[in-house]
Structure 1
Amino acid sequence: MKYMKQLSLVLILISWTITGFTNTNDNPDAVLGVWLNSSGKGQIQIYKQGNKYYGKLIWLKEPNDEQGKPKLDVNNPDKNAKNKPLLGLVILRDFVHDDGEWTGGRIYDPQNGKDYKCYMKLKDPKTLNVRGYIGISMLGRTEVWTRVNP
């Protein structure tokens, strides 16, 4: 009888944990907010426009170059974009919520000027896994972003 009560308690706790996690991922707007990237050098604000999700760079640990001027998107292959400041740059675009993930989007890496396919998934309300890849998702890299002021 004692073991049955313990087993019931464990099953209830597991159920609550799974339900809590699922509810977070079932809420399409759970990803909205400000996130610190894995290097700690940038913060990205994820916002919704229509039914799609985007993210822009809103804070840099080192926002200025050696001359004290705002850092620019110098690695962008588009010559017209090389003079745009990094702050305010949209680096996540066109994501849609589907089955607990934000998919179908693109991520731009200003460090190398390349654009990648991307999907995002909440590990928990404070942790976002962001996977950028080329072709298939196995050929990519996952970064873990942390929510700022949850």
Structure 2
Amino acid sequence: MKKPALIWLGWLLLLLLAAPVRAQSSVPPADRILGIWVSESKDARMEIMRSGNYYVGKLLWGNRVVEADGKTFKKDVNNPDPKLRTRSLQNIIHLTGLTYQDGRWTDGKIYDPPSGRTYNCHIEWKDGRIALRGYLGFSMLGRTVLWDRPGK
């Protein structure tokens, strides 16, 4: 190959490699949580989306919300609202009301289908992972679950 062709090829390769980095860095910090997440123990999967000024989460799969076959979703039998007890747990919005402030997502609610309870929650960014904390009343009276992007 001639020298100008190698230089042109080098520039093209550099641009192609830099494009994903530019795309990732252009995402506002508040939107880093958007997309699919898998629990650290690999037993649940959710998608976080925007809904107006809030962030919400949709339950895609979880070993506590599917039947023994791993495919058929259970019904929401423990829901405090009797009208909702016959709905499928597939794709329900279980995470609501999160807002981004001071580097974390706060003031949310998370619904736990197996218990039928709704807890307060917040999310913190931890080196490319999210730490979702659900709690009653005070944050120190709760539980944190780490979530990763699929394939990590």
TM-score by length of 2: 0.73
Match of 2:125 in 1: 122
Unaligned runs of 5+ in 1: 1-22
For residues 84 and 48 of structure 2, the distance between their equivalents in structure 1, rounded to whole angstroms, comes to 21
Residue 108 of structure 1: which of 105, 108, 111 is its match? 111
TM-score by length of 1: 0.74
For residues 123 and 30 of structure 1, the distance between their equivalents in structure 2, rounded to whole angstroms, comes to 11
Match of 1:50 in 2: 52
Task: Tell whether 2:61 aligns with 1:59.
Answer: yes
Q: Which amino acid aligns with 1:110?
A: P
**How has the CA–CA distance of structure 1 residues 53 and 74 changed in structure 2, closer, same or farther, with 3 Å as cutoff?**
same
* Cα deviation code 1:17-74 (max 9, x no counterpart): xxxxxx8xx7100010111124422211000011100000123458653598531111
Match of 1:134 in 2: 136
Q: How many residues align?
A: 127
Matching of residues 1-150 of structure 1 within 5 Å: 27-61=29-63, 64-65=66-67, 69-125=72-128, 127-149=129-151
Q: Is the 8 A contact 1:123 1:129 kept in 2?
A: yes
Range that drifts further, 31-40 or 42-51 = 31-40
* Poorly superposed stretches of 4+, deviation over 6 Å: none
Q: Is the 8 A contact 2:65 2:114 kept in 1?
A: no
